[in-house]
């Protein structure tokens, strides 16, 4: 199948925005697994979120078995934006939806994982997407990316809030099938876990191909291309040095001036996102719930 890469990259913002807006409930049955007072709600609204998402993908792709599952069973080459939009919808539902909605989307993900299995052609190892070890890697890299990028490009979390966020997100891992006792519940445990997986990581051809596409997607207009360059540079700069070395990426030093430029670009991107249909209303629903939950 021949894929038009320019068409595949179309709607990078609009499709993600539509997925997000449709996932924020109008009349939730309850406050969900986290609630307005959680760090999870606060982190999800941080300007650094696009950088966190891209950094997480860069980290996740370094696990050869996790990457093989994506490469062999998903349509990321035909519709990479659709895959990102679906991820946005899932995360928004789990974070802001009521418990029933979060459980339903998580059950759907678990059912999909039941059919994702095969053999990684690089390592020769068999994999199953529902393997708690692979799910834990995806979970941990996402959580760590939120904390790291908020510190660099958004609103940094104080150490106690970082620990609280990691502990809150144990529930998210459990929803997709990771036994609770396996999930790091503090930043120290999270960092130690990621270090423990390092010997298994490598830059496979599939990882390099998919990440090269995401770092420089064709078809963006000039303005969005410039913003995405800042997002890309931020994501690469926020990687641990050993991860950049695996990919062969170089990164210029993050001066205060460069960080300010990236922060400004993220503000512009957020304004574009806010201008998409339904996003403002979705954020207003979140704000109203947060206001209602504050003590009188």
Structure tokens at 51: 């950088």
Q: How confident is the model at residue 1 (pLDDT cuts 50, 70, 90)?
A: very low
- Per-residue pLDDT band for 25 (boundaries 50, 70, 90) equals very high
d(CA 122, CA 141): 22
Q: How far is the C-alpha of 32 from the C-alpha of 102, rounded, in Å? A: 8
Q: pTM of the entire structure?
A: 0.94
At residue 142, the 3 state secondary structure works out as: helix
Judge whether residue 8 has pLDDT over 60. no
Q: pLDDT band at residue 217, thresholds of 50, 70 and 90? A: confident
pLDDT tens per residue across span 118-156: 999 999 999 999 999 999 999 999 999 999 999 999 999
| Model confidence at 4: pLDDT above 50 | no
The C-alpha angle with vertex 122 and arms to 118 and 126, in degrees rounded to 5, equals 30
CA gap 224, 268 in Å, rounded: 10
Q: Which residues of 61-95 are buried (b: 16+ CB within 10 A; e: fewer)?
A: bbbbbbbbbbbeebebeebbbbbbbbbbbbbbbbb
pLDDT of residue 10: 52
pLDDT in tens, 240-295: 999 999 999 988 889 999 999 999 999 999 999 999 999 999 999 999 999 988 77
CB 201 within 8 A of CB 239: no
Q: List, for residues 160-191, the tens digit of each pLDDT value.
A: 999 999 999 999 999 999 999 999 999 999 99
Q: What is the overall mean pLDDT for the chain?
A: 93
Helix (H) or strand (E) holding 88: helix 80-96
If you write DSSP's letter for every residue of 175-233 in order, what string do you get? Answer: HTT--GGGS--SHHHHHHHHHHHGGG----HHHHHHHHHHHS-TT--HHHHHHHHHHHH
């Amino acid at each position: 199948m021949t894929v038009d890469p320019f068409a595949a990259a179309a709607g990078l913002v609009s499709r993600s925005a539509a997925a997000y807006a449709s996932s924020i409930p109008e009349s939730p049955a309850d406050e969900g697994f986290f609630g307005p007072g959680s760090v999870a709600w606060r982190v999800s609204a941080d300007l650094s979120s696009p950088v966190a998402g891209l950094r997480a993908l860069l980290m996740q792709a370094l696990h050869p078995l996790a990457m093989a599952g994506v490469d062999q069973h998903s349509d990321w080459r035909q519709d990479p934006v659709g895959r990102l939009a679906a991820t946005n919808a899932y995360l928004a539902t789990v974070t802001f939806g009521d418990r029933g909605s979060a459980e339903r989307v998580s059950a759907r993900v678990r059912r999909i994982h039941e059919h994702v299995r095969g053999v990684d052609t690089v390592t020769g190892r068999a994999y199953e997407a529902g393997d708690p070890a692979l799910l834990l890697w995806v979970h941990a890299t996402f959580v760590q990316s939120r904390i790291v990028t908020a510190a660099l490009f958004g609103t940094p979390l104080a150490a106690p809030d970082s620990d609280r966020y990691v502990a809150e997100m144990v529930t998210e891992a459990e929803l997709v099938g990771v036994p609770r006792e396996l999930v790091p519940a503090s930043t120290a445990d999270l960092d130690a876990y990621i270090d423990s997986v390092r010997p298994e990581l490598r830059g496979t051809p599939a990882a390099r191909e998919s990440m090269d596409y995401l770092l420089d997607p064709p078809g963006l207009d000039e303005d969005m291309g410039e913003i995405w360059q800042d997002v890309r540079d931020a994501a690469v700069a926020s990687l641990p040095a050993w991860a950049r070395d695996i990919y062969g990426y170089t990164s210029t030093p993050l001066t205060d001036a460069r960080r300010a430029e990236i922060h400004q670009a993220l503000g512009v991107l957020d304004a574009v996102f806010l201008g998409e249909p339904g996003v403002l209303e979705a954020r207003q629903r979140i704000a109203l719930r947060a206001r209602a939950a504050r003590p009188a």
